[in-house]
Chains A and B, each alone.
Chain A
Amino acid sequence: MSSSSPNLVADEVALGVESASSVAPGGGAGRDFATYLGIKLLAALVSLVAVVVIAFILFSIIPANPVRTLTQGRPVSAAELATLRRQLGIGEPIYTQFWHFLDNLLHLRLGYSYQFRESVSSLIGQRIGPTMLLMGTSTLISIVLGLWLGIRSGWNEGSRFDRIASGASLALWSVPTFWLGIILLVVLSVGFGAFHGIFPAGGMHSPTAAPGAVNTVLDVAWHLVLPCLTLVLVVFAQYVTIMRSSIIDELGNPYLLTARAKGLRDDEVRRRHAVPNALLPSVTIIFLQLGAMVSGAITVEVVFSWPGLGYLTYQALQLPDIQLLEGTFIFFSAAVIGMNLVADILYRYLDPRVRAQ
């Protein structure tokens, strides 16, 4: 479930395993782009529909009567409990529930959260910003860092740099994300002994931050450092391995010998020839790992109380708040399906063999 071991990922590259949704009969070449796009879109839509149906089936099994939990400790009469149950639509027969569910979906409503007493869509709308900020920043930094390390390692294979980089990334992949987060929290935020922490222990805003756009941005950046650092440390190992394997595979290619024979400098050969070719399979696999990034983001948000979608999912677990869980599940799946679609299109677009048509 957690992001595949870096070694497995490298195996996939070596085996020439295709991207998840690019299993097109007869391979990619030979079809024009528009048809390709159409097929991919259709496939994505079918995936989405499957997700929605499965989500509904899955979540309708869960006991769904949280009225007592919601009113715990407060004076309520039996009649009020019944009213509340009616209001929240609990206890309806399954086909009525499914009909409501479909109806809501068509209007892009994802349901109603019991514990927040708000529509799931509006909750997701509130929390998606922080998650995208966290995931976006982390992904960017991880990719840059991972690719750079991977290229350097792969190029200088067997060197001390390579061994240290590979060793460090393997070690960091082996660490549970939440544990790393807690360690960073303790060391850099809570502090120990006489050392007081520097970074905030959670959340996204300081309540007493001075008003103004610049201050807000810097305040958020301040809160972003630790969660982002945690996520980057755990995820960049993937990219290092992918890139390293790709470069090493590229190294065996005859055209590189030609380039060197022509007198091109080592790093120019690397930059202009090896890297772009090695990047291609990496691009698709990077997008495949986005699903793992989502998982990592959830645990990091929980540890740092980052008010994003991951934390929302965790909060939904407490009751459990069925419709909210369902909504976040569908949303995450849809997001990853969407990103895979983008990856496929990007790959098709970038592959020079295809573009040459």
Chain B
Amino acid sequence: MNRTLNQKSLRITYYVLLFLFLTLALNFTPIKVVYAQDPTPSDDQVNEIARQLYCPVCENTPLDVCPTEACRQWRALIRQMISEGRTEAEIKQYFVENYGARVLGAPPATGLNRLVYIIPPVIILAGAFFLFRALKEWTKPATASATPGASEAKPVAQDDYITRLEEELKKRK
């Protein structure tokens, strides 16, 4: 029985010492708080926006493929603005304010520019409508185009001379 008690007490002592050791170790181990680093915007993120913008200087060259020094600076500006947390809309608005609406790949839907988005679909729909009507007419059978009772339609005008002639002939009979 004494041996059992001794073993038990040894075990308890062991666990207490282990606990104390761990406590001391954790308290004195220098644990630094590590923050996740702000990721630098990737080229893909930059080009996702640059693709929608056009070089204000070069003709018809999207900003993501423009090789000039000026375009490189603008892509760097986009990268900086992304890292500052600006949204795509804010970045595009900044470019419009600084360089004009012509930097946009698509015109903004404001003022007269709205016509660019309205007129083509209207023309396409109108064209489709008239084409449909024309096809319908062309494919109608010839007999079906005759209105009921058309064969019974009387000539609107009689030839007065023929009428008088027939009356004269009747008198002579």
Our verdict on whether A and B bind, yes or no, reads: no
Q: Tell me the B residues contacting A by CB distance below 8 Å.
A: none
